[in-house]
Amino acid sequence: MKVKNLKWGPSGPRPLPQGYKSWLAYWVKNYGGVATVCTNKDCPNKATVGGHVMPPDGKRSNNWFIIPLCDDCNSATFKQEFDIERRHLVGISNQLS
């Protein structure tokens, strides 16, 4: 599945939910797994952040997700679409907005 980054401040487009220290911690808790490598299929780097992504055509959608990414794939200069496995997506609830 193709996704692209949402570009916002360090905590993302929505405030970090209460009780979480990072978006990566949010992903780990809600996914039920461990974030080890960046979920960009073309990247071998270690996952360091919970990146905010959306489907490439989702500009006006609230279908936003958190996935484990490395700093390079989550940077403001990384603007291209990239492939991930759909199973890694953790939705951001509308209640967080």
Query: In whole angstroms, what is the distance from residue 94 CA to residue 48 CA?
Result: 25
Q: Is 1 exposed, middle or buried (0-12, 13-18, 19+ CB in 10 A)?
A: middle
- pLDDT computed for residue 79 by the predictor: 87
Q: Does pLDDT of 67 surpass 50?
A: yes
- Summarize the confidence of residues 46-69 as an average pLDDT: 85
| Entry pTM | 0.85
CB 45: neighbour CB atoms within 10 A?
Answer: 13
Residue of 14 and 43 predicted with greater confidence: 43
pLDDT at 57: 75
d(CA 28, CA 87): 13
Res 4 pLDDT > 70: yes
Rounded CA-CA distance 86/34 in Å is: 16
- What is d(CA 51, CA 90) in angstroms, rounded to the nearest whole number? 10
pLDDT for position 61: 64
Confidence of residue 59 (pLDDT cuts 50, 70, 90): low
Q: Note whether 52 and 92 are within 8 A (CB).
A: yes
Distance CA 60, CA 72 (A): 25
Residue 25 has pLDDT above 60, yes or no: yes
Higher pLDDT, 78 or 8: 78
